[in-house]
Structure 1
């Protein structure tokens, strides 16, 4: 169906000018191809509309010719300036960010603009209310929004909390460092290393990753 939609537009008057313009913005052909898989209308919209989308991407603090630009364009495509402003305001209120902090977060991780209000609320409640992170800390590290709250953030947090509560960690690792660990590295460092002292930790972690009740973690 997508292919048919492309074929219904003029190759010379619509598709080629749009592709050429995206190249002028610094996007490689592979970037354009990936974008069009998810946002086909980027190459079938009229050029003025596409230029407006590029303007919106730049207005959230991400210049063209940067690595993040293609992600920004994907996130703001077909959103009006009013819709973007409303989403930015919602982020600001939900995470208690200042204007500077919300600007920093959006410019570093534009995908937060596409998160639902419900997921953002859950994220805020967990990170700020339960973990105790400061709003500024989150704004400076918005990459954490790339990870699943239920499948990664919560299970890893509760593993580290369990280990700390039982005196099994010599050092208190930073929240962001724990999240950045690959799954293999995390398991080796925080689970396998403690398999004798915490025999049920692996099965509890596996259960938590599947969304099962986190009370399975046996705190001392």
Structure 2
């Protein structure tokens, strides 16, 4: 056992990433029992792997068969070679205690070799260990990444998707993922669009193909045909909603924005993400647009994107800037709120704040205050109206 510890120490010291690993004193000071049957798993997890006592207690139940630190030591040395930091190692072991039981020569090394062959660097693989959990010690991870990387466009995009759904690595490529991708392409989505759709909504790849077909049919019933610019957004909007919930949200939109059937259909077709908005968010915007701005329901129906903008960061501050400029004769043209909120922050400031430094020296400060959600002092707004 002492020879093994010396071998592991030599490996770590020769690794260029040794500085990123957890304190060597943990590995060196972990007790070497002359009696393998007395190996204390929980203490090893605390003293050598850096787990908190409650984590170690929970993890030790999955490692009760371990009689020696030999394999765990080899795994830790291997992870050190990949450049995992102490906290990363602790997190990986806490999430997947059986990682310590994986065979370095038969499982971990072949996996790393395969991932390296796909173009991943050691630092990429170290990040993957932290996110893939138990799937990292399955050789099937290599062919799955071989498929996902070109589909998603980059390893960075794959990690983003994995953060949303680590279980994606358990999905059957041939029976689930590939048929879903083929169908989405038949619907007019290219690899780039599929990546943009599936990174925030991984279930579009991993769910039953029949369910994906149902989502597409639902999007089409909303009036968003395949191949249109809004189709991807429509799929995203209905991904987590059944027919009953969609009908309920459409009815809420009608009542909240005083829309007819035709108007709500226009709004949803133009901006399907409306279906994702919370009732509270929709209500606040409807009250502001109707009672403060004074727009008509049909105006919003044809410009539903206006509902997507932040009340505090954009809608309300820009409305009161435009109102202030009009009241003080500083705006020589008619400007709608929709036109104002569509502008980037830079363009809005250049057009409607900077030109009035002399006539309204307080305007920039008041606008900045309003964007923080606070009531500015010079807009002439009563607190109850803010």
Same fold (TM over 0.5): yes
Report the TM-score, using the length of structure 2 for normalisation: 0.55
Match of 2:201 in 1: 39
Q: Provide the C-alpha distance between the structure 1 equivalents of 2:339 and 2:192, rounded to a whole number of angstroms.
A: 31
Match of 1:211 in 2: 373
Kindly provide the CA deviation profile for residues 74-125 of structure 1, in whole angstroms up to 9, marking residues without a partner as x.
0110311110000000000000001100000000001111111101010000
Shift, 1:145, TM fit: 2.1
**Any conservation in 1 of the 2:224–2:231 contact (CA below 8 Å)?**
yes
**Any conservation in 2 of the 1:22–1:32 contact (CA below 8 Å)?**
yes
- Structure-2 change in CA distance of 1:174 and 1:4 (3 Å): closer
Match of 1:78 in 2: 240
The number of residue pairs the alignment matches comes to 219
Q: Provide the C-alpha distance between the structure 1 equivalents of 2:299 and 2:318, rounded to a whole number of angstroms.
A: 18
SS across alignment from 1:32: helix
> Which stretches in structure 1 are left out of the alignment for 5+ residues?
none
Q: Which runs of 4+ in 1 moved over 3 A?
A: 1-4
Q: 1:133 aligns with which of 295, 308, 322?
A: 295
Q: Provide the C-alpha distance between the structure 2 equivalents of 1:30 and 1:21, rounded to a whole number of angstroms.
A: 15
1:108-119 paired onto structure 2 within 5 Å: 108-119=270-281
**Any conservation in 1 of the 2:282–2:307 contact (CA below 8 Å)?**
no
Q: Provide the C-alpha distance between the structure 1 equivalents of 2:331 and 2:183, rounded to a whole number of angstroms.
A: 53
Q: Provide the C-alpha distance between the structure 1 equivalents of 2:349 and 2:166, rounded to a whole number of angstroms.
A: 47
Match of 1:61 in 2: 223
Q: Does 1:184 align with 2:349?
A: no
- Structure-2 change in CA distance of 1:184 and 1:119 (3 Å): same
Kindly provide the CA deviation profile for residues 144-167 of structure 1, in whole angstroms up to 9, marking residues without a partner as x.
123212111110000011111112
SS across alignment from 1:43: helix
Q: Provide the C-alpha distance between the structure 2 equivalents of 1:16 and 1:172, rounded to a whole number of angstroms.
A: 53
Q: Provide the C-alpha distance between the structure 2 equivalents of 1:214 and 1:132, rounded to a whole number of angstroms.
A: 21
Q: Provide the C-alpha distance between the structure 1 equivalents of 2:196 and 2:363, rounded to a whole number of angstroms.
A: 40
**Any conservation in 2 of the 1:94–1:120 contact (CA below 8 Å)?**
yes
Match of 2:327 in 1: 165
Match of 1:6 in 2: 168
Kindly provide the CA deviation profile for residues 12-36 of structure 1, in whole angstroms up to 9, marking residues without a partner as x.
1111001100111111111111222
Point out which structure has higher relative CO (alpha carbons under 8 A, 6+ apart).
1
SS across alignment from 1:38: coil
Q: Provide the C-alpha distance between the structure 1 equivalents of 2:263 and 2:310, rounded to a whole number of angstroms.
A: 22
**Any conservation in 2 of the 1:53–1:78 contact (CA below 8 Å)?**
no
Kindly provide the CA deviation profile for residues 165-188 of structure 1, in whole angstroms up to 9, marking residues without a partner as x.
112122221222212222222111
